Amino acid sequence: MSESTPLSARARLAVTAGKAAAAVSRAAGRGSGSVIGGRVALKFDPELLSRLAGHLDVVLISATNGKTTTTRLVAEALRAGGEVVSNALGANMPAGITSALSAGANARFAALEVDEKYLIAVAQDVNPKAIALLNLSRDQLDRAAETRMMAEHWREGLQGTKATVIANADDPLIVWAASSCPNVVWVAAGQAWKDDAWSCPSCGGVLQRPDDTTWRCAECGFGRPTPTWVLTGDSVLDPHGSTWPIHLQLPGRANKANATSAAAVAATFGIAPQVALQRMQSVAAVAGRYDVVQYEGRDIRLLLAKNPAGWLETFSLIDPPPAPVILGVNARGADGTDTSWLWDVDYTRLTGHPIAVIGDRRLDLAVRLEVAGQNFQVFDTAAEAIRNSPPGRIEAIANYTAFQDLRRVVGN
Amino acid sequence: MTASSLRLIWVYPDLLSTYGDQGNVLVVERRARQRGLAVERVDVRSDQPIPTTGDIYLIGGGEDRPQRLAAERLRRDGGLTKAAESGAIIFSVCAGYQILGREFINDLGEREAGLGLLDVISVRGTGARCVGDVLADVDDALGLPQLTGFENHQGVTQLGPGVRPFARVHFGNGNGTGDGTEGAWRDTVFGTYMHGPVMARNPQIADLLLRLHLDVPSLPPVDDRWYDALRAERIAAATQTV
Ligand SMILES: [Zn+2]
């Protein structure tokens, strides 16, 4: 892109202050320190984000689900063209993004996951070449804005953007958000969860879904655009009509969808789909997700699912019955404190699996499973739940802080 | 319909099912089947007519814009009002509760007419959003144990003389009027701000609706072990957080 401009003294000072704060935070045992480092740096220089990104070809990736994984896949693909800087561990607000970018002095590309609420602000700062919008659905009911409001916020903020927007044609809310952009690449990436998109985002009419892929508002005509990238089973159809097989280590339909979007992103940066897809094959786990960990003679696959759409996709990728399943649910700050979303998850899909229930809110889950007629046991700790499961592979599905708890227990 | 069956109508899941409202439907359905009732569950999308011959109608919560759309379509349809006139049992939550009232403030900041099935009027609160565990005593006339729920709303609902408060809160806000009332009811029409969903934490409400439908004083017991454990935990949590 542009030639790299040297950082001003103020910007350099801000980066240094941020690194110092990160070092202190790490020394104090407070994790990687990337967020605190970024926060300190931003305080020293509020325009740091745009300065740090100035010499980079940036792609922003946002969604309710799959943004961390897709960012990782995009980063792997872009490495075919040069050095990439990325917030690989999911620190996706301005402070975490600043911290990631401050390591990118020599990079050519930046692949950045952005929290939905900050997408527009970050896009204004970093002048991205591409923006990928994957999906929008209910998440954290106690504080999140209505999904349509988020789509509207994106729509207004992205109007007239110079970035190429890579958007999921199968999610009506994403189509609504992206359709004000002058340059959109539509991707048929699928969206198994439909319960946040029955109302037409444009006029409020009821969306008609005559088959698995089509959706259209009978009142105003707002409907699915024709995609140029299509996920078909295990392969990607590109805009030239060529089909490329997806070979991922990451499991499930949702990750094939993520790979399809990532291939479309990579293409806007000049990376051919066959090259991009081949590089994505190297990703085995993303921030602990999909990792298989040995513990007490079991192989525990760690699966993160934070909201109904995420649980739905996760159920579709686990081993068939009678594979044992451990379910963990918390309702701490980072999870959202309202557990009523459990009732939007179709737990009858687990019929035939022995289920062990753990987590702070295991009793909410117990009632949910009782009403779904499932066969389950409740345990006070993850270790107990694992010891009481048969040896072999266990599928462990947990929401955000329950997932972190589980990783600590099994030493991941 | 004979007394050994139940026609359960879920009103507008496409608009009013934001806070796990399907939970109330599932709990009523499950507990009816456990008592040997044949259940016909009908999910009515907002472009379909509301059947007037249901036994129990459930209507849930939603965001401001879907709430307005739901009110417009329910007024135009008229089916729920007809059902209420012929004595149907209706249980409503949050946005659904406001719609059953005389009027509420819509997403455009305007007064929107409700169905007038409950003598209540709702406005938008000016304080912080009410979010958290609630503990309340249900109206003695209903003979239910303590109510535990989760509230997540900004509404303030004033009760008129035509309804009684569904409950009185010990912890939490309920109707948000500051007088300790939570929800409203008259005859067989109920409204509450309680999510959770409320029947997962208070299966006795589901049983109340079934008793009203069957017109019996009691029902055969079912295994309430997990409901009881959850209730005890949430009641303790509500008292600890205040
Ligand atoms: Zn429309």
Q: What is the pLDDT of residue A42?
A: 73
Amino acid identity, position A372: A
Query: Is residue A141 within 8 Å of residue A106, measured between CB atoms?
Result: no
Q: Which of A142, A299, A338, A346 is catalytic?
A: A338
* CB-CB neighbors (< 8 A) of A367 in chain B: 200-201, 226-227, 230
Please tell me the distance from the alpha carbon of residue B221 to that of residue A305, in angstroms, as a whole number.
Answer: 35
Domain span at B219: 5-240
The pTM for the full model equals 0.91
Give chain B's contact residues with A (Cβ, < 8 Å).
Answer: 13-15, 17-23, 26-27, 30, 45-47, 63-66, 69, 131-132, 150, 152, 195-197, 200-201, 223, 226-227, 229-230, 233
- The alpha carbon of A173 and the centre of ligand 1 are apart by a number of angstroms equal to 12
Residues A182-203 pLDDT 10s: 999 999 999 989 888 899 999 9
Measured on CA atoms in the order A59, A60, A63, A64, is the torsion positive or negative? Answer: positive
CATH code: domain A292-410 is 3.90.190.20
Q: How many CB atoms lie within 10 A of CB B60?
A: 30
Q: Is A338 a catalytic residue?
A: yes
Nearest to A150 by CA among A215, A201, A94, A220: A201
Radius of gyration for the alpha carbons in chain B, expressed in angstroms and rounded: 17
Measured in Å, residue A200 CA sits from the centre of ligand 1 at: 5
Number of domains in chain B: 1
A144 — contact with chain B (CB < 8 Å)?
Answer: no
Q: Look at residue A39 in the predicted model and tell me its pLDDT.
A: 76
Beta-carbon separation of B65 and A146 below 8 A: yes
Q: Where exactly does CATH 3.90.190.20 map onto chain A?
A: 292-410
List where CATH 3.40.1190.10 sits in chain A: 49-280
Question: For chain A, what is the largest distance between any 2 Cα atoms, rounded to a whole number of angstroms?
Answer: 64
Q: How far apart are CA B147 and CA B196, in angstroms?
A: 11
> Do A230 and A215 touch, CB atoms closer than 8 A?
no
CATH number (domain holding residue B192) = 3.40.50.880
**A181 appears as a binding residue in the annotation:** no
What single letter denotes the amino acid at residue B63?
E
For residue B161, whether the previous peptide bond is cis, meaning omega lies within 30 degrees of 0, is no
Question: CA-to-CA distance for A166 and A375, rounded, in angstroms?
Answer: 42
How many CB atoms lie under 10 A from the CB of residue A397? 25
Yes or no, beta carbons of B23 and A339 under 8 Å apart: no
Low-confidence residues in chain A, pLDDT < 50 = 1-3
Q: What is the pLDDT along chain B (242 residues), one digit of tens a residue?
A: 455 899 999 999 999 998 899 999 999 999 999 999 999 999 999 999 999 999 999 999 998 999 999 999 999 999 999 999 999 999 999 999 999 999 999 999 999 999 999 999 999 988 888 888 999 999 999 999 999 999 988 899 999 999 999 999 999 999 999 999 999 999 999 999 999 899 999 999 999 999 999 999 999 999 999 999 999 999 998 888 54
Residues of B recognised as catalytic = 94, 195
CATH architecture of A49-280: 3-Layer(aba) Sandwich (3.40)
**pLDDT at res. A29:** 53
| Angstroms from B218 CA to nearest CA on chain A | 21
pLDDT at A34 (0 to 100): 72
